[in-house]
Amino acid sequence: MFRSRQLSPVELLNAHLARIERLEPTINALSYRRIEDALQQAKAAEHRYMTAPESARALEGIPTLLKNEHMLKGLHTTQGSWLCGDEADDRNAPIVDRLLDAGAVIHGQTNVPEFYLAGFTRSRRHGVTRNPWNTDVTCGGSSGGSAAALAAGMTTLATASDIGGSIRIPAAYCGVYGLKPSYGRVPEASFSYAMNPCNHNGVMGRSVGDCALMFNVVNGPHAADPATIKPKLTLPADFESVHGLRIALSLDLGYVDVSDEVRANTHKVAQALRDQGATVDEVDIPWGPWVRDTFTHYLGFMLGLPLVDAIRDHREKVSDYVVHFADAATGITPGMFHAANAAIETMHTGLRQVLDRYDALICPTLADTSTPAEGMKDAHTNLMSKGLTYPFNLLSRHPILAAPSGLASNGVPTGVQIVGPTFDELMVLRIGAAIERQLPWTFPSL
C-alpha cells in the first residue's frame, strides 16, 4: 500500500498514535512514547516512497515498538525496575540497529514485569498492563506490553524476548504471533544474556508474514554476541503447503493439567492441518513433573543467585515477585544445578524420539487463561502451573512459533506452540502459515 500510495507511513503512524491515545490509559502497554522522532522517521519514509520507491528498505515506514529491554540511544531502559534506567541508553542494542537500518519507525517502548521475572506484566515502576480482550486478565509476560500493543492496534511490529516463555505466553494471551527463534539466531546486547542458552531475542506481529519479515531483518551473526549463528537465515515471503508433513500433537507434554477449552481449541488446530493434507497424530512425551524442578534449578541457579546480590540493599524498592524469586533461589545448590543438566539430556532424548518420526510438534502454549491482570506474589509457581513453554528454553535450539488457536469462555485467546527441529525456523513458520490460512484471526474491536 505504501508503494501504490494507497497509504502513507505518516498516516499509518498517526492511526497507531490515535489508538494509543484512546486506549493507553486502560491497557497501559507503553512505558515511553517516542512521537516526534517517529514522525520524522515516518515523513522520511513517505518521501522515499514518493521519490525513490525502489530504494525502500525491508521495514521502510513500518511502526515498531521496542520491549523495555532493547536499548535505543537516548531512551531509558528500566527493565521495569526503579533500580535501573536512571541514565539514558548510550548505545543501541544490535536488534535495534538492525531495525533502524531497515527503515522501521520506532515510536515507543513497551512495559515488562520487573527484570522480566513473570508471566504477567506488573511492576512498581510502570503499573499493571492489561489484556485488550479482557482487561481483568493478564496480557502475559514478560513481553506483555508488546503483545498487548499489537492486539490493541497500537503498532504493526514489536520486539520481544523469551527466557521461560516471555514471547509465547503473551502471544497466547493476546492472540498475536510470536517467534522464539533458535538460540543464537538473533544477537544479544548483553554478554551475560548471550551466554545464557535459555535466552532468545525474537519478534512479534499480527500475522505469520509479519514475523517472518521482521525475523529476516534482525537475525544473523553479530560481533558483540559470540553465540550468534552463521550464516544469516532468510525466510521466503510465501510458504509451501503442509501437505505430506507429519506433525505430532501433545495436549499436555505428559504432565500439565490443561483445561478443556484449551484442549478443544488445540484439536481444532490439528484438524485444520489435517484438512490441508498433513498427518497429525497424538503422541506421548515421556516427561513428568520433574521438568518443573529441572527448569527451576537450572535457571534459578543462573539468574536467581545474582539477583540476590542485586537487590540485597533494595528489597523495599522491587516488586514482591522479585523478592520471592530471589529468596527461593538461595536454596538452589550446585548439586541441584548439576542434576538439572543431566535431566535436560533426558528431556532432549524424549523430544528427539518424537521428532525422529515427525516434522514438528504442536502443543498448547498455556494450560488456561485465568491469571488476573495484577498477577501474584509467586510468579514462578504461576509459570510452572500454567505454562507449557519453559521446557523449550532448556531445549533452546528448537525454534517455536506461537499462534492463536481460538477463544476461551472469558473472551481471552488461547494459543498453540509449533515446535520445530533444531534451527529450522522455516518449518515452524510454514506450519503457522497453514494454520493462519485455515483459521483466519481477527482482533478485538476496541
- The catalytic residues are 67, 142, 166
Q: What is the CA radius of gyration of the chain?
A: 20
Residue 76: which residues within 8 A CB-CB, separation 6 or more?
Answer: 32, 85, 86, 87, 88, 89
The amino acid occupying position 371 is T
Cell 521466503, residue?
236
Strand partners, 366: 387
Residue 113: which residues within 8 A CB-CB, separation 6 or more?
Answer: 80, 120, 121, 122, 123, 141, 142, 144, 319, 321, 375, 379
Query: Pairing state of beta strands 246-249 and 360-364?
Result: parallel
**Cell matching residue 304:** 536467581
**Beta carbons within 10 angstroms of residue 419's beta carbon:** 27
Nearest Cα residue to 371 out of 130, 107, 73: 130
Strand partners, 101: none
Nearest Cα residue to 62 out of 154, 172, 156, 126: 156
SS3 56: coil
Residue 207, phi then psi, degrees to nearest 5: -155, 165
- List, as one string, the DSSP characters of 167-218: THHHHHHHT-EEEEPPTTSS--SSHHHHT-TT-EEEEEESSHHHHHHHHHHH
Distance separating alpha carbons of residues 373 and 384, to the nearest angstrom: 18
Judged on CB neighbours under 10 Å (0-12, 13-18, 19+), 74 is: exposed
Distance separating alpha carbons of residues 8 and 23, to the nearest angstrom: 23
Nearest Cα residue to 402 out of 386, 414, 412: 414
Distance separating alpha carbons of residues 184 and 257, to the nearest angstrom: 32
Q: Which residues of 5-21 are buried (b: 16+ CB within 10 A; e: fewer)?
A: eeebbbebbeebbebbe
